[in-house]
Amino acid sequence: MSFEALVGNITISPSPKTRAGEVYKNVSFDFWQVGDVPFDAVV
């Protein structure tokens, strides 16, 4: 399922899980629904 959304307040920072040969990042963001949802959401 998918729906249209506006994304903002994006934050990307280094992760303590990064090891030699691997790069991990902590990512956070907010999103706001735009328009109607084309399906019935089950919560």
Q: For the chain, 43 residues long, give each residue's pLDDT as a single digit of tens.
A: 788 899 999 999 999 988 899 999 999 999 999 988 777 777 7
For the chain, helix (H) and strand (E) counts, in that order, are: 0, 2
Residue 36: the pLDDT is 84
Tell me the C-alpha distance between 17 and 25, whole Å. Answer: 8
Q: Which amino acid is at 33?
A: Q
Give dist(CA 7, CA 33) in Å, integer. Answer: 9
Amino acid 42: pLDDT? 78
Q: Please state the separation of Cα 30 from the chain's center in Å.
A: 7
Q: What value does the mean pLDDT of the chain take?
A: 90
pLDDT for 22 equals 92
